[in-house]
Amino acid sequence: RGGGEAEMFFHIVLERNMQLHPRHFGPHLRDKLVAKLMKDVEGTCSGRHGFVVAITGVEDIGKGLIREGTGFVTFPVKYQCVVFRPFKGEILEAVVTMVNKVDFHSPSSQLCHVLSAWFTDLGCLLVLQMGFFAEAGPVQIFVSNHLIPDDMEFQSGDVPNYTTSDGSVKIQKESEVRLKIIGTRVDATEIFCIGTIKDDFLGVISDPGGAL
């Protein structure tokens, strides 16, 4: 993968209060806490730190405090984990998930709502309604029409795509592309990115349709 992608992974230490039912108390208490920690935390997103890819170790489990009226006990846990967070200017490889005219008003698309609010503020919503979505691990990236090379045109049909005039390069669903992050927006639970393939050394890496 590109050099920028490695820089988006960080090994950090976090803390979390874990609640455990008394039925789990016993010689395997630590194992139960660690298993619950992994289940609750891995694959989640923190707007501050990014996506938690994996827990790599538990540094400390503090003394438990009984919660009145419930019987549950809360344990403060300090743990090491690998997180993934993209930054503006990073270059990474991603897989295209959709090529289409984007409906920013679709009630089923939270990402489109976020992009709509974001780019309406920038006054450029109209030019962003065509493009493609791609995924790099847990991150979704939107590449708009004006951030795609000028010699590529949108082709509608059963398999919407962007194709060069001579047909030698095609972007469609499942294509792998190298792109650069030019903007990120972070909320409490998700990270959204805008990318470009218009710079040098960016674009299609592999095409499932065999155009390359």
**Mean pLDDT taken over the chain:** 83
Confidence tier at 170 by pLDDT (50, 70, 90): very high
For 188, the token pair is 């409490």
* 3-state helix vs strand vs coil in the chain, percent to 5: 20, 45, 35
Confidence tier at 43 by pLDDT (50, 70, 90): confident
CATH architecture of 3-84: 2-Layer Sandwich (3.30)
Question: CA end-to-end span of the chain, whole Å?
Answer: 19
Give the residue-averaged pLDDT of 11-31: 92
* Domain ranges in the chain with CATH number 3.30.1490.120: 3-84
- In this predicted structure, what is the pLDDT of residue 191? 77
Q: Which among 176, 98, 173 has a CA at the least distance from the CA of 136?
A: 176
pLDDT at 70 over 50: yes
Please report, for residues 34, 44, 97, 139, 182, the alpha-carbon distance to residue 88 in angstroms, rounded to integers and kept in the order given. Answer: 34, 21, 21, 13, 5
The predicted model scores a pTM of 0.71
- Is-contact 147 196, C-beta < 8 A? yes
Q: What is the CA radius of gyration of the chain?
A: 22
Q: Which among 109, 106, 52 has a CA at the least distance from the CA of 84?
A: 52
Specify whether domain 91-206 bears CATH 3.90.1280.10: no
pLDDT tens-digit profile of 72-110? 999 999 999 999 888 889 999 999 999 986 555 444 445
